[in-house]
Structure 1
Amino acid sequence: MTAVTPLVHSPSHIGDFTIRDVIEGQTAGQLIAAADDWGWWVTLLGGDTTAPTTGIQHTVAEGLVRGWEPTFRQLSDSPHLEFIPAATEPGEVARGCTDIARRRPEIFEAIGHAIAAGTPGTTIDLGCADAGRVLALAGIAASERFLGVDIEDGVIEAARTEVAERGLADRITLLAGSVQPESDPPAWLAAVDRQRVTTAMSFFLLHQLASDGDGIAAVLRGWMTWFPNLTRLVIGDGYLLEAPYWTQQPWFSPTYEIYHAVTGVRLWTRQEYERAFAELGWTVRRRLEDHTMLVTTILERG
C-alpha cells in the first residue's frame, strides 16, 4: 500500500472533499485491503452481509462498517447527487448505541445516581435503540419509570421482549416513532403522560436531528414543549473537533468522517452545543468523556 501525501489545505467544506481525503493515512487503506482479501466486498456487493467470527474480524468490521453499510451501498448509483440519504442497519446501530452502557458503566452510574437523587418521575430515552440504556438505568434508579422511543419498529419489538423477560414491563414502556420535533406532534406522544416526564436523554442522535431540522436549540425546544416539566437533560453526542486533517483529530475514524461527508449530516462543536444549552436556560452539571468520541453532558434547570 503506497502512502498518500496529506493535503496542504483543510477539507472543512463538502466542496473540498477529494479522493485523497477518503484514503488519507495507511490505516484506512489497510482495513480496506484486509476486507478485500477476506472477500468481504464481493459478499457485500452481491447483496449479502458479512459475518465476522474472530476478534480481529470484529475489529475490522467495526472500523469499516459500524452499521452504516446501507448508506455506502448507495454510492455506486449516486455520483450525480450532492448528498445521499443516511441509511443504517437498525440492529447494528442499536448495538452500537447501547454499547456505552456496557463499556462504560461508570458513566451510566453517574446518570442513574443523578436521577435517583431527585423526586421519582419518568425518564425518556429519545432514540432508545434496543433499550440497553434504560435497562441499565432501571437497575440504578429503582424508583424511576422509563420510556424509550425509537423509529425502528423491529428494534422496539425485540426490546419489548427483553424488557418483559427481565420482569421490568411495569417500569419500562417502549414506543415506536420519530423523535424529530415537527409542526404536528408524533402519534406516540398521545400515549405518554407528558407531565410526569422530568428527565429526557438522547445519545448519538441530536447532531443528526439538528442537521435535518433548524439546529440544536430548535430540537431541544421541541422536546421541552413536549415535556413541560423537564428539569434534567442528558445529551450524549460526538463533538466536531478542529484539526488541519481528519487523521489529526483525536477520535479519527475514516468511516465516521466519510459517512457525514456524503450524507450532509454535520457534526457540531462543543461551543455550539453549549450556546444552545445556555439559550434555553440549561446549566451543565457534569460532563463525562468517552475515549471513542462520545461526550455525555448532564444538564439541569429550575
Structure 2
Amino acid sequence: MTLTDSTTRHTDGTTELPAMSMRDIVDGHTAGHLVVAADDYGWWTDLLDGVPVHVSTPMEDVVADGLTRAGLLIREGETLRLTVAGRDVAAHRGFVRVTVRGWEPTFRRLASAREADRVPAATEPDNVARGCTDIARRRPEILAAVGGALAADEPGVTIDLGCADAGRVALLSALAPHEQFIGVDIEDGVIADATVDMAARGLAQRISLLTGSVQSTDDRPSWLDEVDCDAVTTAMSFFLLHQLASDGGGIAAVLRGWMEWFPNLRRVVIGDGIRLTAPSWTQQPWFSPTYEIYHAITGVRLWSDEEYTAAFAELGWTVRQRHSDHTMLVTTILER
C-alpha cells in the first residue's frame, strides 16, 4: 500500500517533506523510557482502570515529573491522573515497550555492522513478548471476535504459534470456556515464566505451553510429539507470520506446513503487520516507520495486504472477519 504524499511548498517552487524536529527525536527517546518505567510500576493499567496512583518514592517522583512535563500526566498533590494524550499513550504502551526495550539491542548493533547486508535480530525476549501481548490487549474487541468464533463452534483445541508470554491465550480462555489451548514459543525463558504464571492463575489444566520453533518449512519440531495434532482445530499466529514467510518460502508455504501438522484445522487466525510505503515517516501511520526500518535492518521482508489475501485464497481459506488496527496491523479470521 502506498500512502498519499504530503509536502511543504517553498516560495522558490521547491518542495520539502515534513520532518521530525530535534525536540521530537531527543525528548521522544527520553519520554519512551519514562513510559516503560511507569508501565513497570503498573501506573498505566491502574490509571486506565480508574484506580488512583500515588507517588511515594523519590524515583517515582522523577518519573511522574517527567511524564507530567511531557503532557501525559496531571499531578494533583501526590496523586496522578491521565491527560487525553496520556490516555492514548497508556493504551499503546505495548508499542513503546517493543521499540524502546525489546528492539533496542538490534538498533544498537548498527554502528558495528556498517558493512553487513543485515543484522540478525538481537532482542530482549521478555520485553518483546510483553509488548506484543499489550498490543493485542489494547483492542479487546478483536480478541473478543476471536473468542466469540471459538465459543460459537464445537469445543476443540486452539494453538497459538508464537504465543509470547501466553497473554493472548489466557484472555481467550475466559471468552471460550470450553476450549483447550496450547501455546508454543521459541524463547524458553519466556515460556518458563509464562508456565509459572498460568499455574498461579489456575489455568494450567486448560493451557499447555511448549518451547520450540514454529517454522513449518524446517524439519519437524520435537514439540509436536507432545501434541495430539488431530485434535487441533484452530491455529493462531500474531506478529510473526511475516518473519516466518521471509525465511520459509512465502506466506502460503508456512500456512501449508501448519495445515500438514494439524490436518483437522477448520479455522486460522492471522494477526500481522502489512507493508506500507511513503517517502517520509510523517506520511505513515505512527509505528509503521519503526516497524519498516527494524525489518530492513534484520533482512526480514514485509508483505503486502494483497499477498496475504492471495495466499489465503490459494489454500482454500475464506475470510470470515477482518479487523484493522492503525491501518498497518490486520487480524483476519479464516475458516474452511
Band of TM-score, shorter chain: 0.7 to 0.9
Question: Matches of residues 154-233 of structure 1 in structure 2 within 5 Å?
Answer: 154-233=189-268
Question: Matches of residues 71-86 of structure 1 in structure 2 within 5 Å?
Answer: 71-86=106-121
219 and 162 in structure 1: CA distance in 2 versus 1, 3 angstrom threshold: same
Partner of 1:277: 312
- The answer to whether the 8 Å contact 1:123/1:201 transfers is yes
Partner of 2:19: 25
The one-letter code of the counterpart of 1:211 is S
Structure 2's unaligned 5+ residue stretches are 1-5, 8-16, 39-62, 73-88
C-alpha deviations, 1:57-81, integer Å up to 9, x for none? 9879548525101211211211010
The one-letter code of the counterpart of 1:226 is W
The one-letter code of the counterpart of 2:149 is A
* Helix, strand or coil at the partner of 2:293: helix
Partner of 2:51: none
User: Which residue of 313, 317, 324 maps to 1:289?
Assistant: 324
Q: Distance in 2 between matches of 1:79 and 1:141?
A: 49
Q: Distance in 2 between matches of 1:82 and 1:101?
A: 32
Partner of 1:11: none
User: Which residue of 85, 108, 123 maps to 2:158?
Assistant: 123
TM-score, with structure 1 as normaliser: 0.82
- The answer to whether the 8 Å contact 2:143/2:172 transfers is yes
1:141 deviates by: 0.5
Partner of 2:77: none
Partner of 1:264: 299
157 and 183 in structure 1: CA distance in 2 versus 1, 3 angstrom threshold: closer
* Helix, strand or coil at the partner of 1:139: helix
192 and 64 in structure 1: CA distance in 2 versus 1, 3 angstrom threshold: closer
The one-letter code of the counterpart of 1:25 is A
The more displaced of 124-133 and 286-295 is 286-295
156 and 292 in structure 1: CA distance in 2 versus 1, 3 angstrom threshold: farther
The one-letter code of the counterpart of 1:84 is V
1:25 deviates by: 2.4
Partner of 1:34: 27
* Helix, strand or coil at the partner of 1:109: helix
- The answer to whether the 8 Å contact 1:246/1:252 transfers is no
211 and 112 in structure 1: CA distance in 2 versus 1, 3 angstrom threshold: same
Q: Distance in 1 between matches of 2:168 and 2:141?
A: 13
1:31 deviates by: 4.1
User: Which residue of 233, 236, 240 maps to 2:271?
Assistant: 236
C-alpha deviations, 1:228-273, integer Å up to 9, x for none? 1101000000111243444322345443222112111121111000
Q: Distance in 2 between matches of 1:37 and 1:272?
A: 38
Q: Distance in 2 between matches of 1:98 and 1:249?
A: 23
The one-letter code of the counterpart of 2:164 is A
Partner of 1:133: 168
- The answer to whether the 8 Å contact 2:164/2:190 transfers is yes
- The answer to whether the 8 Å contact 1:202/1:234 transfers is yes
1:91 deviates by: 1.1
Structure 1's unaligned 5+ residue stretches are 7-20, 41-49
The one-letter code of the counterpart of 1:119 is E
C-alpha deviations, 1:196-226, integer Å up to 9, x for none? 0000000000001111110100110111111
* Helix, strand or coil at the partner of 1:158: helix
Partner of 2:44: none
Backbone CA RMSD of aligned residues: 2.7
